[in-house]
Amino acid sequence: MLNMPRERKAYLKDILEAIRKIENYTKNISFNDFVRDELIKDAVVRNLEIIGEAVKNIPDDVKNKRPEVEWKKIAGLRDILIHAYFGIDDEIVWDVVKS
């Protein structure tokens, strides 16, 4: 069976699902709770990575319709998270999640 390219809707669905999960994981917790709970922190970081990877696969025509979304920053965060995991600043991750 040939690998079929994913449709743009699938990537958008991935983004929305990852956002939903992050919101669920972080609702009703403080920054200190976030820092202390490795499972939550790992889950949040993983879903930010998923968002960043999906963003890289969204066609430019779709991105151009939403210029207010900082597409490059989102993809750039994914690269930082993937390549510098042990150097991740918890405050930056928390700020991204809460803003």
Domain boundaries, the chain: 8-98
Q: What is the pLDDT of residues 5-40, one digit of tens each?
A: 678 889 999 999 999 999 999 999 999 999 999 999
pLDDT the model gives residue 83: 87
Q: Which residues are catalytic?
A: 78, 83
Q: What is the pLDDT of residues 58-95, one digit of tens each?
A: 999 989 999 999 999 999 999 889 887 668 889 999 99
Rounded to whole angstroms, the Cα distance separating 88 from 75 reads: 15
Looking at residue 21, its amino acid is K
Q: Give the pLDDT band (50/70/90) at residue 1.
A: very low
Overall pTM > 0.85: yes
Rounded to whole angstroms, the Cα distance separating 95 from 99 reads: 6
